[in-house]
Amino acid sequence: MPEDIHLKINGQAVSAPAGSTILKAASSVGVEIPTICYHDYCTSNGLCRICVVEVSGARTLTPACVAKVNEGMEIQTDSPRVRRARKTILEMLAASVDLSDAPDIQAMLVEYQAQPDRYPDAQTRSPEVIQDNPMYIRDYAKCILCWRCVQVCAEDAQFTYAINFSGRGYRTQIGTFFNRPIPETTCVFCGQCIGVCPTGALKPKKQWLMEQGQTTDEIMRLTRSQRRAKTKKTTQPAPEGGAA
């Protein structure tokens, strides 16, 4: 058993095993800290910063999902400084991508009284939906760059390395080698990326088509012919309609 660390969270004395994160220590005493990029089964990169908390003595805010507890730490998880950062991050995010399929983030917007239209003339990231394979679609207008799909495609799960990043900064996107269609990559259609995507940017094709108003019969016909096309010609993706 690791030794216990003693700290204070919002004034309350807490003890937690050495090596645990602030997030886990807080949750063990019922203090919930919001998270977006964090996922129990993925490597934590501490990149969305929605989980930041105030640790006394620290120059900047601290990401609770990756920072470890220390003896004597005093933590505020909901101070004005923390709320300002969270609210601003949420508002900026809402001005960047389509969050309509991300109910958890929408709930956070309400909780932090964030105005989704705070940045009215902001340039959004809104590339067209990519339908290049029979199994799933990629709608990067909904992508919040949480990195989970890239990670499960690599060392976090599948070791297929089909997808990575393109661009940088605000223009970062998830993509393939020279934007090749998915069937021309190493993708094995394991579906892990779809499973971890928090915003509906990656979706089973069938589900997506149904949302577009297609009937089950139409979808069956469509996907069957596409599956055949794929087995016949592995390097050429089946011809498909453009973005919806």
CB of 125 to ligand SF4, least distance (A): 10
Decide the pairing of beta strands 164-166 and 136-138: unpaired
Should residue 48 be labelled a site residue for another protein when binding is judged by CB under 8 A? Answer: yes
β-sheet bridge partners, residue 173: 166
Collapsing DSSP to helix, strand or coil, 227 comes out as helix
Should residue 137 be labelled a site residue for ligand SF4 when binding is judged by CB under 6 A? Answer: no
Span 60-119, contacts to ligand SF4 by CB under 6 A: none
Q: Give the residue with the Cβ less far from another protein, 25 or 145.
A: 145
CA dihedral of 199, 201, 204, 208, whole degrees rounded to 10: 100
Should residue 105 be labelled a site residue for ligand FES when binding is judged by CB under 6 A? Answer: no
Q: Which of 195, 197, 221, 200 is nearest to 211 (CA)?
A: 200
Q: Give the residue with the Cβ less far from another protein, 54 or 139.
A: 54
Contacts of 71 (CB under 8 A, 6+ apart): 5, 6, 7
CB of 51 to ligand FES, least distance (A): 3
Map tokens 């807080």 to a residue.
26
CB of 38 to ligand FES, least distance (A): 4
Report how many residues bind ligand FES under the rule CB under 6 A.
12
Could you tell me which stretch among 109-117, 125-133, 145-153, 207-215 binds ligand SF4 (CB under 6 A)?
Answer: 145-153
Could you tell me which stretch among 24-32, 138-146, 204-212, 222-230 binds ligand SF4 (CB under 6 A)?
Answer: 138-146
Q: Which of 92, 179, 187 is nearest to 140 (CA)?
A: 179
Could you give phi then psi for residue 175, rounded to 5 degrees?
A: -165, 180
Should residue 60 be labelled a site residue for another protein when binding is judged by CB under 8 A? Answer: yes
Q: Which helix (H) or strand (E) holds 25?
A: helix 22-28
CA distance 75 to 18: 16
Should residue 146 be labelled a site residue for ligand SF4 when binding is judged by CB under 6 A? Answer: yes
Residues at the contact surface with ligand SF4, assessed by CB under 6 A: 143-149, 174, 196-199, 201-202
Residues at the contact surface with another protein, assessed by CB under 8 A: 45-50, 52, 60-61, 63, 66, 81, 84-85, 87-89, 91-93, 95-96, 118-119, 121-123, 145, 154, 161-172, 175-178, 185-186
